[in-house]
Amino acid sequence: MTRTNRRDAGTDRRLLLLVGPVVILAVVATAVSIYRLATVEPRVSLPILLTLTLLAAVGFTIKVTVRIRSTNHHIAWSETAILVGLALAPAEWVVLCVGVGIGASMMLAPNRLPLIKAVFGIAKNMSLAGAAGLALHLSGWDPGRQPIEMVVPLAVAYCTAVVLDELLTLPVIAHATGKSGRELFRQHLGLRVASAVARFPVIVGTLAILKIDNWLLVAVPPLLLSLHLAYSARVRSQVERTAWRQLAQATDALNVIDLDVVLATAVHQASELFSADEVDVELTDRGRTVRGNTGEIVYDGSSADAPPAEGWVVQEKLVGHDESHDLGIVRLRFRAPVELNEREEYTLSTFASALCTAVRNASAYQELTRVADEHAAAASHDALTGLGNRRQLLDHGTELLGQRHADGVTALLLIDLNHFKEVNDTLGHGAGDEVLIQVADRLRSAAQGDDLVVRLGGDEFAVLFQGLSAPAVATHRAERLLAALQEPLDIDGMRLRVEASGGIAVAPPSGGMPELLRRADVAMYQAKRSGGQQRIATYAPASDTADVVRLSLGGDLPRAVAEHEFCVDFQPIVDLGTGAVVAAEALARWHHPDRGDIDPIRFLETIERSGLLATFADTVLDEALTAAESWRAAGFDLPVAVNVAPRSLLDPQFPDRVANRLRAHDLPPDRLFLELTETLTVSQLEVVDQVLERLRTEGVRLALDDFGSGSSSLSVLSRIAVHELKIDRAFVVAMDTSAEALAVIRSTVDLGRSLGLSVVAEGVESEPQRHALWELGCAAGQGHLFARPMPATRMLATLRRSAGQFAPPLHDEGAVVHLKSGRRPGGRGRSDRLPHLPA
């Protein structure tokens, strides 16, 4: 016997176990009735018996049909007919009339029920008649009473019939549909209760009418038919309302971005929505089929390998509203033939259209994620050696240094190959590349545990050590790594010996990865200057001339602040397409009387350590807002961008000072951009989150400066909600010669577009760079191509002289521009491309 046959046989046996007791109960009721009629001989006129039989047939025939899975279930008026009959004739006659009337209606029906259903229907109603008659007798029923006195006995008998009907019917329906009895009991419960309550007054009213004349019984069947029509309309209305609500919930549940979740949700929701035994969703373009029901997914895999499914199938294509996309098919499977009504067909069509849209959206997001991952991988790895690159080192190192409770010591080893230029000059760049590949492989093999090995560029490598028990351990690991390079390399049949110099630095208490890199670089060049006497050098502050300069600058700071030696220049930010200025960045400068102009990179850390940061920041902000105020008064409403030191974000009063200065200069908050630099080292602090949130609440715009260089990263972007990304100038300068730099720019532009952020490129110095950036989708840029930093007054004069046009447009107005594939410059208009304009 096959599995299917065994399952069907088991199903039939369980069904017999459910139907059998009902049949036995009906047989007992019939036997008792016949015995009573034979011994007591209660007399009833033949017209009354015929009317009771007709009433039972009508009560069973007029019904409301509800489909659950592939089985139709009916809500009839049998209890009403039974109670009216019991009020007019002895229970013995009613039991027999119910059996004859219902049996006759089944025989005359155009679509005959299967034998077991017919037997169950007759037996159940005869059992109800017997049980209701017994309840009526026990409650003290007297046919001679007035109608008002009949209410209590009739109510007891009626409740007995209704409750017994539920107890006998629900297990059979649960078996046929596979649903739980509890679930079926809750389904349409309110409607069933309301219907039962509404029928009882009909019974009492009918008996009151019959008190006038028993011959009025012939009017009861038409009355039942009228009530049935009204009840049916109410049931249909409620079923339709429930169906539309379920459709709305089902389509809402599909609004997710994970394709696997979309397909699983579609299977579960369609099974519930259409009361299907099983649902298939087949995506023809992917060759994938997902099959299941309300409770589980039974198959998810190749359509060609999907096991055959049995049953009656109703299917709908997955097409959009415009029918321009045909993604696949959704199939509803039933164990027996089912015909959907017009409302169900429309619901299926709407559901299939919503599923098509959800699949397209999830597929698009999946593809976007894949491309973004590819770009991220390309941007963080060296194409030649497969090692990580500078960006990966900065991102990983910054994250590591930003952890408050990092275990152990973090150190960095920089490795530079000695005389590598001679290899390129003598053997060619192909041999040089092979040397770099083999060096990378040896370093990778010699590294331990969590050591991160990267190629910084050229012949320079770096290894980041973490979790060291002591700084001296870094020296031992560095010795082992350089020892791995001593064995000769085999390059095109020649054996070459590689010499290298290394510099070690332990993570400093401040300055993050840029400072760690600088210190390791200082140590490495110390080893190279030793002339081979020292292969590895460790960073020593005494030999760091940069620290000496900082120390001297620190002593000059009080005088510089008091004598206003700090000034602010402004560099315009230009729309790459039109050449029009859209904003300006404020750049602080220190006009030192002895050292000349000093760049902020050299003095900002000194200012932070001196305790003068708040005064310095307020001075720069005031000058920037004063300039923006003067430009606005002259008709040039330009936002101004001001760099924010990381330590300023640790000051809870900083947002209040910013807001007060904006009000003092009568400038809208969105005219100010605060550029966050190297904020990752403090971005995990709760106070920083609070400061940034307050700035955003005030309406101030935020930008991530030098994005891609490591001082800001995707991890920062996921934590800090900003409005703008600024591409580091190093990538712009290298984009013509470095595929890596181009990949970083492209991925940054794509990321900004997907997140709705504007992207500004720094360091634009040539028209080819401007064209390339614009074609990649970058909307704005700044650099020497447009203008060098200048004082506010000269900026205003230039604005007036050029009418805000700092470069000729790339294309004439109205010209047809053929863009590269995937190019979408801004997409929504200039003010949406650049949050510098009102966003």
Q: Which CATH number do you get for residue 730?
A: 3.20.20.450
Mean pLDDT score, 228-244: 61
Mean pLDDT of 281-307: 85
Percent of the chain with pLDDT over 70: 74
Domain CATH code at residue 480: 3.30.70.270
In a domain, 128, yes or no: yes
Distance CA 664, CA 674 (A): 18
Average pLDDT, the chain: 78
Among 258-272, 601-615, 774-788, 821-835, which range has the highest average pLDDT? Answer: 774-788
> Which of 296-300, 306-310, 484-488 shows the lowest per-residue confidence on average (mean pLDDT)?
306-310
Residue 680 pLDDT > 50:
no
- List the CATH number of the domain containing 159: 1.10.1760.20
Mean pLDDT of all residues in 715-728: 81
The answer to whether residues 577 and 639 belong to one domain is yes
Least confident of 165-174, 204-213, 353-362: 204-213
| 429 pLDDT above the threshold of 60 | yes
530 shares its domain with 578: no
- In 284-319, which positions are buried (b, 16+ CB within 10 angstroms) versus exposed (e)? eeeebbbbbbbeeeebbeebeebeeeebeebebbbb
Domain edge (last residue) among 244, 275, 304: 244
Mark whether 461 and 319 lie in a shared domain: no
User: Is the residue at 618 inside a domain?
Assistant: yes
Q: How far is CA 540 from the centre of its chain?
A: 50
- The answer to whether residues 354 and 395 belong to one domain is no
Shared domain for 299 and 191, answered yes or no, is no
When mean pLDDT is compared across 105-109, 287-291, 659-663, 779-783, the lowest value belongs to 105-109
pLDDT of 811 > 90? The answer is no
Does some domain include residue 555? no
367, 280: one domain: yes
Contacts for 85 with CB less than 8 Å, ≥ 6 apart: 52, 55, 56, 93, 94, 97, 98, 129
Specify the residue for token string 């009361």. Answer: 275
Reported as a pLDDT band with limits 50, 70 and 90, residue 3 is very low
Low-confidence winner among 484-493, 537-546, 743-752, 820-829 (lowest mean pLDDT): 820-829
In terms of average pLDDT, the best of 534-543, 606-615, 726-735 is 726-735
CA distance 599 to 589: 6
pLDDT average, residue stretch 349-368? 82
Query: What is the reported pLDDT for 769?
Result: 93
Instruction: Please report the pLDDT score of residue 225 as a whole number.
Output: 56
Percent of the chain whose pLDDT exceeds 90: 20
Q: Which range, 8-17, 375-384, 534-543, 815-824, has the best average confidence (pLDDT)?
A: 534-543
The verdict on 118 and 202 lying in the same domain is yes
Tell me whether residue 839 is in a domain.
no
The residue-averaged pLDDT of 657-665 equals 93
Which domain covers residue 285, as residue numbers?
A: 254-376
Looking at the structure, do residues 64 and 212 belong to the same domain, yes or no?
Answer: yes
Sign of the CA dihedral 22, 108, 100, 160? positive
Listed range (225-229, 340-344, 423-427, 727-731) with the worst mean pLDDT? 225-229
Average pLDDT over residues 654-658: 92
- Give the model's confidence band at 822: pLDDT under 50 very low, under 70 low, under 90 confident, else very high: very low
| pLDDT, greater one: 540 or 781 | 781
| Phi/psi at 514 (5° precision) | -55, -40
Is residue 35 very low, low, confident or very high in pLDDT (cuts 50, 70, 90)? confident
- pLDDT-derived band at 206, boundaries 50, 70, 90: low
Same-domain pairing of 50 and 186: yes
Interval 456-475: pLDDT, tens? 888 899 999 988 888 888 88
Provide mean pLDDT across the span 151-172.
Answer: 80
Tell the burial category of 112 from Cβ atoms under 10 Å away from its Cβ (0-12, 13-18, 19+): exposed
Report yes or no on 249 lying in a domain.
no
Residues 165 and 75 in one domain: yes
**Complete DSSP assignment for 91-136:** HHHHHHHHHHHHHHHHHH-SSPPPHHHHHHHHHHHHHHHHHHHHHH
* More confidently predicted of 77 and 191: 77
Which of 203, 221, 244 is at the close of a domain? 244
Domain count, the chain: 4
Residues 733 and 597: their CA atoms lie apart, in Å, by 24
Confidence tier at 830 by pLDDT (50, 70, 90): very low
Residue 682 belongs to a domain: yes
Specify if 224 maps to a domain: yes
pLDDT of 796: 94
CA gap 659, 647 in Å, rounded = 18
Residues 200 and 336 in one domain: no
Name the range with the highest mean pLDDT among 131-140, 165-174, 736-745. Answer: 736-745
Kindly state whether residues 162 and 213 are assigned to the same domain. Answer: yes
Residue labelled with tokens 């050299």: 602
Its pTM stands at 0.40
Task: Note the pLDDT of residue 135.
Answer: 82
CATH number at residue 260: 3.30.450.40
Higher pLDDT, 626 or 815: 626
Domain boundary among 244, 279, 313: 244
The pLDDT of residue 678: 46
2-6, 60-64, 748-752: least confident range: 2-6
Check residue 829 and give its pLDDT. 33
Q: Is residue 548 part of a domain?
A: no
H or E segment and range at residue 68? strand 63-68
Q: How far apart are the C-alpha atoms of 634 and 630, rounded to whole Å?
A: 6
CA–CA distances in Å: residue 604 to residues 598, 616, 684: 10, 10, 22
Q: What is the pLDDT of residue 645?
A: 81
Instruction: Provide Rg for the chain, Cα atoms.
Output: 42
Picking from 59, 102, 86, 101, the residue whose alpha carbon sits closest to that of residue 204 is: 86
